[in-house]
Amino acid sequence: MKVTKVGRAYPLSITQEHFSIEGRGLVREATLERYRADNDFAKKIPGEEERPHQLPSIYTHPPLDAPQQWGMTVDLNVCTGCSACVIACQSENNIPIVGKLQVAHGRAMHWIRIDRYYASRKPFDQDRGDWPEDPEIVHEPMMCQHCENAPCETVCPVNATVHSEDGLNVMAYNRCIGTRYCSNNCPFKVRRFNYFDYNQRPVGKKKIAGALSIYEEYFAPLTTKGAPDIIKMQKNPNVTVRMRGVMEKCTFCVQRIEEAKIAAHARAGASAETLIPRDSFTTACAQACPTEAIVFGDIKDPESRVSKMKKQDRNYRLLEYLNVNTRTSYLARIRNPNPKMPDAANIGVASLEEKVPE
Amino acid sequence: MDATPAAPEIKEAERQIARIPLVLNRRNFSWLTERISGVVEQPAPRWWWVAFTITASAATFGLFCLGYQISTGVGTWGNNIPVGWAWDITNFVFWIGIGHAGTLISAILFLLHQKWRTSINRSAEAMTLFAVICAAIFPGVHVGRVWMAWYLAPVPNNWAIWPNFRSALVWDVFAVSTYFTVSVLFWYTGLIPDLATLRDRATTKIRKFLFGIFACGWRGSNRNWRHYEMAYLLLAGLSTPLVLSVHSVVSFDFATSILPTWHTTIFPPYFVAGAIFGGFAMVLTLLLPARAMFKLQDVITPQHIDKMAKIILLTGSFVGYAYMMEFFLAWYSGNSYERFAFWNRVFGPYWWYWWVGMLFCNCLSPQLFWFRWCRRNVYVVYFVCMCVNAGMWFERFIIIAGGLHRDFLPSSWGLFIPTWVDIWTYIGTLGIFTSLFLLFVRFLPMIAMSEVKTAVPEADPHYATPPGIQSISPRGKERI
């Protein structure tokens, strides 16, 4: 086999262009050694001290008074970045496929994505064209964090995204007019917008218009409307499909929560035992995760798996300084490289407290 | 008064401190009426048709682009995630900002008894209306489901859902619609005496009928004037807070968010200063050619241009100060996200937008107006105005797309690349704006005749034509 330069560039449709973590403490990682020295290292990442003092709020918050409160943890220690959660979520939630052109335009629709960063012991400036030396790859599944102080909710002019009593940040698709203000104000950029009518119109196929080759979505009003039956049959009947111009995002699989609630109520009959049994169901991403990195459940129940995960000292939340109070938290990654391995020094470096000076 | 002739040095001193008349060459009432009405009454000059053809074609194609975008999806623009707003909201803020100069001239300068406003207020107010029309297009069509945009209005409905009154976009709806309504009323009220003049001079039945309807039976009686002046004063009072409030509310779209570079308390005054800055540049952009084409140099004099240039210098310096303050506060806050965002503004992927648009066009180019020679040279003034027009557009783009494209998580960083639909929609609104302005100068008096007459010496009841000077009043139709 021979590799030769062809002297041409081929544009790749990728969902993430920037691979430097820019020292932002998003993926927190340590070697076992450092973890043993400081069990709370995950909570001491630079930036945390910027959290503002709790001031009296002039906003009234929706009451979080349901008997069960949903939350999630993602254990970065065991996440392998396999993307099974992405596909599980896509099929569970009827997420449209947009084709490579729209992906290249930054319009991928996945509700959960795997953020992938290259970390190296020596800092590098990607903007200047630096490449990381001996990089390790860190993955971080990213989906709606279900902030209790959700920035998306306050800015929506039509009340299309609101909070439920059980702590979900919910979307009312029928109410959404698509101002995209929520996405702009989302610090995690996990909201996805239907820039075209992905469910009703052909997407991602080239159509020749004279000498121009333009993708079919740009001819939308002239194409046939309606999805073929085979596509319709592939959809999850418990989840709606969204039309163009509507914002969508991770719902914590609200259809599964509701299904479980209804079943619990049906089972309860006349009794008061209407709670969903502990850890009896989970989200599609958590269900598909081969390493059980994603754990979903009732954070009000101290015995639930998710509550136990959240009690671990590795537990941390992203962008706490924004005071958004996320319901999803991450468990820091602990690495234990064999010191005899040649690149042992380059493992566990994603959130070094002190970067090695250049 | 001492009637003895003054010594030559006193005469010279008097000449130097004398106020330069606002209407040059001793043009009298009759000349003003003839010349200003003549623009409306005489057939359109050939250049008008050429200009109107071009602008109306651009407007038509722009409307086609809007139709295409509405029927196909917001995806026809370059917007994406993270850049959910780009040229759409940039254009909205750009146009709404331009309107502010009109309101400032018509309301605040009126309350401050700045008589020089009379030569420019009518066209500045018209410009305000047309700019607000262009601005109003964008929030309307940038949404994904245009046909549902009425959800923004507090209409009682069977789901009992109100708009979210915490959202700055809802405040925008109220601010902009109030602004437009008051601006229309103010503009129309000011027009009534002039419409009556046109009615009285009308030579065709249709003109007589239409101007007659819109002049509301104006007879120029003492009673008419008393009511009119009270109404005008009240509307000026109502409009004055709008000069400050509308763009403050527009800035809340950004200031109430949590995004680095958006989340900042400096925005309301910064946006208002920028709006007046950009608005005055647009007033001059429209009036300098109109003044030359319709030979109105005696009414819109170098003095007027000089004063507007000074306002551009003042507000441009405010804007420059606000830019500096933003950088200082980003550094002083110690917040790494803020610091990065401003670093990225200057050295990131959109670096040249900042260097050309914000630094050169907005901060440096108006500094030329420190020099009298520059304020008096129409070509320099026009150059600076064009720089400011472009610079203010760039500024909004830098704030909006520049703030969005790189926020908290580097994984979601992206870029915005405009499509032909983005570009032509913007050009289309330029076409709509200029077409409406061209129609305005053809069908309505572009200078407030009744008001500018108050600024000539004849308006003084004790005025007598000085001996030896003949008042110039060319009767008959002078072809422009």
Q: Are B34 and B479 in contact (CB under 8 A)?
A: no
The per-residue b/e assignment along A12-36, b for 16 or more CB within 10 angstroms, e otherwise, is eeebbebbbbbbbbbbbbbbeebbe
The per-residue b/e assignment along B314-351, b for 16 or more CB within 10 angstroms, e otherwise, is bbbbbbbebbeebeeebeeeebbbbbbbbebbeebebe
Before B82, cis peptide (omega within 30)?
yes
Helix (H, G, I), strand (E, B) or coil at A204: coil
Percentage of chain A with pLDDT > 70? 95
Contacts B142 to A, Cβ<8 Å:
179-180
Sign of CA dihedral B170, B175, B176, B181: positive
Of A23, A46, A159, nearest to B164 by CB-CB distance is A159
The alpha carbons of chain A give a radius of gyration, in whole angstroms, of 22
Query: Which residue is listed with tokens 């409160």?
Result: A69
Q: Suggest the residue from A19, A158, A200 to mutate for an interface test with chain B (most B CBs closer than 10 A).
A: A158
Please report, as a single letter, which amino acid is at residue B174. F
pLDDT at residue B475 is higher than 50: no
The per-residue b/e assignment along B71-94, b for 16 or more CB within 10 angstroms, e otherwise, is ebbbbbbbbbbbbbbbbbbbbbbb
Please report whether residue B270 resides in a domain.
yes
Q: In this predicted structure, what is the pLDDT of residue A45?
A: 72
What CATH number has the domain bearing residue B169? 1.20.1630.10
CA B278 → CA A258, B158, B201, B269, distances in Å? 53, 44, 37, 14
Q: Distance (Å, rounded) from C-alpha B315 to C-alpha B271?
A: 10
Domain ranges of chain A: 41-54+63-346
Contacts B144 to A, Cβ<8 Å:
176-180, 193-194, 244-247
Summarize pLDDT for B224-240 with one digit per residue, the tens: 999 999 999 999 999 99
Helix extents (H) in B4-157: 8-17, 29-41, 46-72, 87-103, 109-111, 121-141
pLDDT at residue A343 is higher than 90: no
Q: Is there a contact between A155 and B148 if contact means CB atoms under 8 Å apart?
A: no
CB contact B1 to A (< 8 Å): no
Sign of CA dihedral B246, B248, B254, B257: negative
Paired residues of A136 in beta bridges: A119
Plot region of B113 (φ>0 → left; ψ -120 to 50 → alpha; else → beta) = left
Helix (H, G, I), strand (E, B) or coil at A93: coil
Q: Please report the residues numbered 169 through 228 in chain B whose beta carbons come closer than 8 angstroms to any beta carbon of chain A.
A: 169-170, 173
Write down the CATH number for the domain with range A41-54+63-346.
3.30.70.20
Summarize pLDDT for B313-338 with one digit per residue, the tens: 999 999 999 999 999 999 998 888 99
- CA of A103 vs chain B CAs: smallest distance (Å): 10
CA B457 → CA B16, B20, B22, B114, B284, distances in Å? 18, 11, 9, 16, 26
- pLDDT-derived band at A84, boundaries 50, 70, 90: very high
Compute φ and ψ for B14, nearest 5 degrees: -60, -40
Q: Which pTM was predicted? A: 0.93
DSSP code of residue A174:
T
Q: Is there a contact between A115 and B411 if contact means CB atoms under 8 Å apart?
A: yes
Q: In this predicted structure, what is the pLDDT of residue B463?
A: 79
pLDDT at residue B160 is higher than 90: no
Please report, as a single letter, which amino acid is at residue B70. I
CB contact B162 to A (< 8 Å): yes
Q: What are the DSSP E strand ranges found in A252-354?
A: 294-298, 315-316, 328-331, 333-335
Region B212-216: mean pLDDT is 93
Question: How many domains does chain B contain in total?
Answer: 1
Contacts B414 to A, Cβ<8 Å:
17, 106
Q: What is the DSSP string of B90-128?
A: HHHHHHHHHHHHHHIIIIIHHHTT-GGGGGTHHHHHHHH
Q: How many other C-beta atoms are found inside a 10 Å radius of the C-beta of residue A82?
A: 15
> Is ipTM beyond 0.90?
yes
- CA of B385 vs chain A CAs: smallest distance (Å): 32
pLDDT at residue A353 is higher than 90: no
Q: Distance (Å, rounded) from C-alpha B259 to C-alpha B253?
A: 11
Please report whether residue B91 resides in a domain.
yes
Contacts A116 to B, Cβ<8 Å:
411
Residues 6+ apart with CB under 8 A from A212: none
pLDDT at residue B5 is higher than 70: no
Q: What is the largest CA-CA distance in chain A?
A: 74
